[in-house]
Amino acid sequence: MEMKTVFKKQFGELRSGWQIVLFILVLAGASAATTVPLVLLLNVRDTFALSAAALVGALLATLLATRFINRKPFIAVGLAVNGHTMRELGIGCLVGWLMMTGIFGIEYALGYLKVVATDLSFTQAAQTFAISIVFFAVAAMFEEVLFRGYLFQTLLRGINVIPSVVVMGVLFSLAHFRNPNASAFGLINTILVAILFCYAYWRTRGLWLPFGIHFAWNFSQTTLYGYPTSGIHFSNYELTKLTQFGPDWITGGAYGPEGGALATLMILLCGIYLYLSRTLQPYPGIVTLEREEERLQFQTFESRTYGQRLVEQAGRVAA
C-alpha cells in the first residue's frame, strides 16, 4: 500500500478519519476565537451571547472545512436553501410542537400537572415570546450544525449509516450528561432523539427538518408549557409556570419531559412518521458531502477543469 493511500482516497480527497481530525482542530480554534474574548475580555456570562458565539464558531469551522478540505460549497453540509427548505422547516416545527403538545396534553388529562400564567404584561409576554424564538433557534442550530453537520456527514462516508447514527447519538447524550437532574432514562431518550434527528437529515439530506423539530420541541417545552429543558429551567423564557405531580418515570421529573416515558413514546411516533412519509425526500440535484466525485464539479481553488482531470486520469491508466 502506498503511503498516500493512507491519507487520501480515489479522487485525491483526505480519508474521512483525517477530515474529522482536522475539523475538530479547526472547530477548537474557531470556538476559542469566538467565545474566549467574550468570557475573558468582556466578562460575558449570558447564555444567549455564548450560544450565539458558539454557533458562529461552529459555522466558521464548517465553512473552512467544506471549502478547504472537501472543495465544496458551504451549503453542502445541509444548509442549502431550495424549493424544499420552507416545507421541511415548516414540517419540522409542526412535528416538534405536536410532540411536546402531546406530552403536555396527556399529563394534563392524567392530572399530573398544574399550569398558571406568568404575571407578565402583554408587552412583556410578546417580548419574551420573540426573544425565546431567537434564543432557542440559535441553540438548536448550534447543536444541529455540531452533531448533524460536518462531523456526522463525514462519519457517514467512513463507517456507513447505522454506526454513524449510533456514535453521534451517544456523543449527543454525553454532551447532556452533566446537566442538572440528569437520569439514565433521560440519557437514553437523548440518544433516541439524536437518532431521530440524524434520520431526519438522512431523509432530506438537509438540516432544516431536524432543526425545525429540535427548535419547536425546546421552544414549546420551555416557553409555551414551562417545562425544564434537559434539566435546565430557563425561567426568563417562560410564559407559563408549571407544577408536576406524576411519577418521574412518566413525566421526567426535574429533568423535564425528555427524562420520561411520554417523551420516548413521542420520539417513536415521530420516527414512524418520518419513515412512512412520502413527502420527505432530498431536493433534486442537491450537493452533499457524501459523494466524493462531486468535488470535481466545484473547482473553487484549482485551475484544472473537470475535463482536464479526466484526460489526465485516462493518460495514467493508459500508461
Q: What is the pLDDT of residue 7?
A: 60
Neighbouring CB atoms inside 10 A of 243's CB total 10
- Going from the C-alpha of 78 to that of each of 85, 163, 208, the distances in angstroms are 10, 20, 8
Helix (H) or strand (E) holding 135: helix 122-147
Q: What is the pLDDT of residue 301?
A: 34
- Long-range CB pairs of 156-165 (<8 Å, 24+ gap) are 156/290, 157/16, 157/289, 157/290, 157/292, 158/15, 158/16, 158/17, 158/20, 159/16, 161/202, 164/198, 165/195, 165/198, 165/199
Q: Cα–Cα distance between 288 and 282 in angstroms, integer?
A: 10
- The x, y and z cell numbers of residue 318, run together, are 493508459
Q: Can you tell me whether residue 84 is helix, strand or coil?
A: coil
Residue spans per domain, the chain: 3-318
- The x, y and z cell numbers of residue 265, run together, are 413514546
pLDDT tens-place values along the chain, 319 residues long? 454 555 666 556 778 888 999 999 999 999 999 988 887 777 777 888 889 999 999 999 999 999 999 889 999 999 999 999 999 999 999 999 999 999 999 999 999 998 888 888 999 999 999 999 999 999 999 999 999 999 999 998 888 889 999 999 999 999 988 889 888 899 999 999 999 999 999 999 999 999 999 999 999 999 999 999 998 888 889 999 888 888 999 999 889 999 999 999 999 999 999 999 999 999 998 889 876 555 444 333 333 444 444 445 444 444 4
- The x, y and z cell numbers of residue 2, run together, are 502506498
- The x, y and z cell numbers of residue 194, run together, are 439524536
